[in-house]
Amino acid sequence: MVVFSQLNENQKCAVEDKHNHIRIIAGAGSGKTRVLTMRIAYLIEKMNVLPYHILAITFTNKAAKEMKSRINEMLSDKGVGCHISTIHSLCMRILSEDIVALNYPRNFTVVDADDQKQILKEAYKLVGIDKKEYAYGSMLDYIADNKYQSINPSKAMEYTYGEPRLINKAKVFAYYQERLEKMYGLDFDDLILFTTRLFDENPVILEKWAKRFHYIHVDEFQDVDKEQYKLIKQLSSFHNNLYVVGDPDQTIFTWRGADVNIITNMDKDFKDLYTIILNENYRSTNNILSGANSVIKNNKARVEKDLYSNNGAGDRIIHKTCFSEAAEANYVANQIIKLRNDGYNYRDFAILYRSNYLSRDVEKVLLENRIPYVIYGGLRFYERMEVKDILCYLRMITRADDLALIRIINTPRRGIGQKTIDAIQEIANSQNMTMYEVLKAGLYPKNKDTFDHFVKMVEKWRNDVQTLDLELLLKEVLDDSGYRTMLEAENETERLENIKSLLDDIKEYSEDYPDSTLDDYLQMISLYTDRASEQVYDSVNLCTIHSAKGLEFECVFVIGLSEGVFPSEKTLSEGLKGLEEERRLAYVAYTRAKKLLYVTESSSFSYVLQSSKLPSRFIKEIDSAYIEHVDDRVSPISSPIFDEDVVINTRVNKEPKDDMYRKGDIIIHKIYGEGVILSNDNGVVSIAFPHPVGIKKILASHPSIRKKTKDDYS
Ligand code: ATP
Ligand code: MG
C-alpha cells in the first residue's frame, strides 16, 4: 500500500498534481526520486492506470532496479509491468521491436567501447594515419559530434574544405560508419539516434509507442542531452504527460553532452509547464547541507535555492590532512572501524573519489584489515587490465612463468599471434622448460628478431633488479616495454593514471620496507588479489563521484581532495566552465552524506600530478562554521588501527622464522619504533609499544620489525 503520510505537503501535491507537463526543480536530498516513485505508485493504485502504460527513465541501471523494487514493495505485484529503465535500455527495447523499418535486423549488434577502438584501428591502417597524431578519444568525439548533428560521412568530407587533417578524420568516419552498417552495429549514440530517426520517419511506429506510454517520468533530468530530450518529447507527444525531476546544481555530465539549459528553459517548449519546488532536505544534517551549499554558492552560473533541513545540526564536516596517501587511507579505515564499533554497518559507508586511480591505497588498507568492500561501476585496482599487465611484466623478472609471458608477449603488439604462442608452448612442454626458457635458448625458429629483442630486454631488467630500486626498475619496464608509449599514443588517460598510481605504490612499498625484493612486492600484491572476488552483503561502498549520483549513505568519505586532483588539472585548464562543473561534482559528493561527512587529502608527492599536493579549493570553500580541521602531519605515528586481538598487516613476505623472537626481546618497528615482545604464538608476536600505539600483533616474519642489536645501543 502507498503510504502518503510519508510525504510533506509540497511533495504530496507533487505526487498528485494533474498538470500534463510537470517539472520538479529541487536541491539534493529533497525527495525528487521519492516523489517520482510515489507518483508511479499513486497512478497505479489511486488512478487505476495500468503499469504497462507507465514509463520511467533513470540515469543508471542500479537506479532503475531500486525504483522497481520500491514500487513492488509498495504495491506487491500490482506494479509489475511498468517500464523502468535507462534511456539506452528503452531504445534497445524499441529498436528490437521496430528497427526492421530502418532496414536493420532485429538482432542488431550493440557496439561497445572496445569494439569501437577495434574499428578505429582498422580504419587508421587503411587511411595510413597513426594513433599518436589522432587519439582515439578525440576521433570518437569527432564521429559522435557529426552523428549528433546529422552530418553523414560525405557531408563531413565536404566540410573539410581540403584541410588534410580533417580529410583524414572524415575518411576514418566513413570507414567507421560503413563498418558499423555492414555488421548492423549500433554504438551507444546510435541507439538514441536510430530511435529518434525511426520515429521521425515512421509516424505510425511513433504513434504506437507514444500511445503506449500514457505517463512518462524522467529522473536526473538535468543531465539529459538534446537528442535524448527530442526522444522524450516524441514519446510524450500523444498523451502529453511528462513529469521530469532534476537539480541544475547536479549537472555533472556536460562532457558527455548533457545540457542544463534543457531543464531550465523547458517552459519555452511547454507553455503549460507547471513547476514545483521542493525545499526541505530529508537526507542530511544541517552542517553537511550548509557546508555543501556554501561550496556551490561559488558558482556564478546558477539559480540560488533555499534548501533547509530539520535533521538537526549534527556533527561538523571533518577535514583531515595526512602526510601521505597511505596515511589518508589508514585514517579512513580507522574511522570505519571505530564507527562500526559504535553501531554502524559496513554498508553505511561510502568512499568517493574523483578518478578511479585514487582507489588504490584505500583498497589496500581495506583488504589488509579484512573490511569487505564493493566497487560500483569499476574494477578493483589490482584487477585493472593495465595494472595486471605491468605486474606480469614484473613477473618476467622474477619467475618468468608462462601465464605472465602469454599475457604480455603481444602487449604492446609485437606481431605475435595465438599460433606462435601455441607452438612455443608445445616446445616448452616437450622439453620440460618454461616458454621463456625456450625463447632464451633460441629454440623457437621463427620471429627471431622480435624474440631476441624481447629476451634481451627481460635479461637487462633481470640484471638491473640487482642494483636499481624498485621504483626505477618499474619505470624502466614501462619505458623499455613500450607499454607507457602505447597508452600515451592511445590517449588512455585513465589507464595512465592507474599506471602512475602503481608507481606510487611501489615507491611507498620500498620506502616502507627498504630491504624488500621485487619478489616480496609481488607476493604482497598477490595477497590483495586473492580475496578479490568475495561478495559480501555488508560491504563498504567505493565509487567515483559520477557513479554515486542519486545515492545516499550514512557516512561519506570524499578522498583525494587535492588541488589538481579534484578539481582535476584537466578541467581546470578548461576555464570557468570546467571549474563550475567540478564544483557541482563536489556538491554531488558532499550531499550523498546523511550523518557524517569526511573530506580528506594528503600532502605527499604524487606521480600523477608530478608535484606535492595542496588542499582543494572545495575544502576551503566550506564555510568555517560547518567544518573542523584535523592535521596529523606533525607526528608520523598514526593511531593504531587494531585492538589487541587483531593481527595487523597481511603484507607477509618471507617464510616465518617462528623462533626468532622470545618474550622480553626488544625489537624495532619501522614506524612505531621500539617495542617489547610479550609473546610469540606460532610466528605471531604480540609487541607492546609506548603510548599511543599500545599492543600490536604482528607476524614474526614481517619486514617492518627487527631485533634491536648492539649497534642500536651504541
Ligand atoms: P538527489 O538530488 O540526490 O537525487 P533526491 O531529491 O532524489 O536527491 P531522494 O533520494 O528522493 O532525494 O530523498 C532523499 C532521502 O530523503 C531519502 O532517504 C528519502 O527516502 C528521504 N525522504 C524524502 N522525503 C521524505 C519525507 N517526506 N519524509 C521522510 N523522508 C523523506
Ligand atoms: Mg534522486
592 is an active site residue: yes
Same domain membership, residue 256 and residue 164: no
Residue 123 is assigned to a structural domain of this protein: yes
- Among 142, 159, 183, the domain-final residue is 183
Give the pLDDT of residue 587. Answer: 97
Q: In what order do the strands lie in the sheet with 21-26?
A: 83-86, 54-58, 215-218, 242-246, 21-26, 274-278
Give the H/E segment covering residue 15. helix 9-16
Overall average pLDDT of the 391-396 stretch: 94
Whether 166 is covered by a domain: the verdict is yes
Q: Which residues pair with 626 in a beta bridge?
A: none
390 plus 373 within the same structural domain: no
Among the listed residues 411, 50, 459, 30, the one whose alpha carbon sits nearest the alpha carbon of residue 215: 50
Distance 32 CA to ligand 2 centre (A): 5
CATH code (residue 61): 3.40.50.300
Confidence label for 521 from pLDDT (cuts 50, 70 and 90): confident
| 643 within some domain | no
* All three cell numbers of 99: 528497427
Verify that 246 and 143 share a domain, yes or no. no
Q: Is the per-residue pLDDT at 659 higher than 70?
A: no
Question: Peptide bond before 692: cis, by omega within 30 degrees of 0?
Answer: yes
* Whole-structure pTM value: 0.77
Write out the residue range of the structural domain in which residue 431 sits. Answer: 383-528
| 299 within a domain of the structure (yes/no) | no
382-411 mean pLDDT: 90
Provide the domain count of the chain. Answer: 5
| Tens-digit pLDDT profile for residues 662-690 | 878 888 877 677 888 888 877 778 888 77
Q: Quick one: pLDDT at residue 338?
A: 96
The neighbour count for residue 585, using CB atoms within 10 Å, is: 25
Q: Is residue 646 part of a domain?
A: no
Q: Which H or E run contains 556?
A: strand 553-558
What is the distance in A from the centroid of ligand 2 to the CA of 361? 30
Is 359 in the same domain as 373? yes
Atom of ligand 1 nearest to the CA of 26: 6
For the chain, give the mean pLDDT: 88
φ and ψ at residue 109, rounded to 5 degrees: -100, 135
Q: For 242, phi and psi rounded to 5 degrees?
A: -130, 130
The closest-lying atom of ligand 1 relative to the alpha carbon of residue 551 is 3
pLDDT tens by residue, 246-257: 999 999 998 888
Confidence label for 436 from pLDDT (cuts 50, 70 and 90)? very high
CA dihedral of residues 195, 196, 200, 204 (deg, nearest 10): 40
Q: Is 592 helix (H, G, I), strand (E, B) or coil?
A: coil
Which SS3 state, helix, strand or coil, does residue 695 take? strand
| pLDDT for residue 540 | 95
Same domain as 241, residue 371: no
Q: Residue 584 falls within a domain, yes or no?
A: yes
Using one digit for the tens of pLDDT, what is the confidence trace for 484-514? 999 988 788 889 999 999 998 898 888 777 7
**The residue to which cell 568512499 is assigned:** 351
CA atoms within a 13 Å half-sphere pointing along the CA-CB vector of 115? 13
CATH number at residue 681: 2.30.30
Q: What is the CATH number of the domain that holds 446?
A: 1.10.486.10
User: Region 187-208: what's the mean pLDDT?
Assistant: 95
Q: Express each pLDDT in 601-622 by its tens digit.
A: 998 877 777 778 899 999 999 9
Q: What is the mean pLDDT of residues 559-586?
A: 92
Confidence of residue 697 (pLDDT cuts 50, 70, 90): confident
611: number of Cβ within 10 Å: 12
The candidate with the shortest Cα–Cα distance to 335, out of 557, 664, 545, is: 557
More confident residue, 645 or 587: 587
Q: If pLDDT is split at 50, 70 and 90, which confidence band does 693 have?
A: low
* Catalytic residue flag (residue 6): no
Q: Are residues 413 and 524 in the same domain?
A: yes
Span 282-311, average pLDDT = 92
Task: Classify burial at 683, counting beta carbons within 10 Å of its beta carbon; exposed 0-12, middle 13-18, buried 19 or more.
Answer: middle
Q: Are residues 388 and 374 in the same domain?
A: no
3-state secondary structure at position 191: helix
Task: Please tell me which residue, 137 or 455, carries the higher pLDDT value.
Answer: 455
Of 592, 594, 613, 696, the catalytic one is 592
Q: What is the pLDDT of residue 639?
A: 38
Which of 8, 12, 34 most suits a substitution to test ligand 1, by most atoms within 8 Å of the C-beta?
A: 34
* Residue 291 belongs to some domain of the structure: no
- For the record, the C-alpha cell of 697 comes out as 600483533
Ligand nearest to the CA of 591: 1
* Domain boundary pick from 471, 505, 528: 528
- Residue 707: which pLDDT band, with cuts at 50, 70 and 90? confident
Residue that is last in its domain, among 120, 150, 183: 183
137 and 221 both lie in a single domain: no
Q: What is the pLDDT of residue 315?
A: 96
The set of protein residues with a Cβ atom below 6 angstroms from ligand 1 is 6-8, 11, 26, 28-34, 247, 250, 282-283, 550, 552
Is 409 part of any domain? yes
Helix (H, G, I), strand (E, B) or coil at 162: coil
Among 219, 249, 348, 386, the one annotated catalytic: 219
The 10s digit of each residue's pLDDT in 45-67 is 999 999 999 999 999 878 888 89
pLDDT attached to residue 2: 66
**Looking at residue 177, which CATH number applies to its domain?**
1.10.10
Find out whether the peptide bond into 636 is cis, omega within 30 degrees of 0: no
* Chain center to CA of 355: 6
Indicate if 549 and 420 belong to the same structural domain: no
Q: Which of 188, 20, 182 is nearest to 90 (CA)?
A: 188
> Are 159 and 252 in the same domain?
no
The answer on 245 and 149 residing in a single domain is no
Domain shared by 202 and 274, yes or no: yes
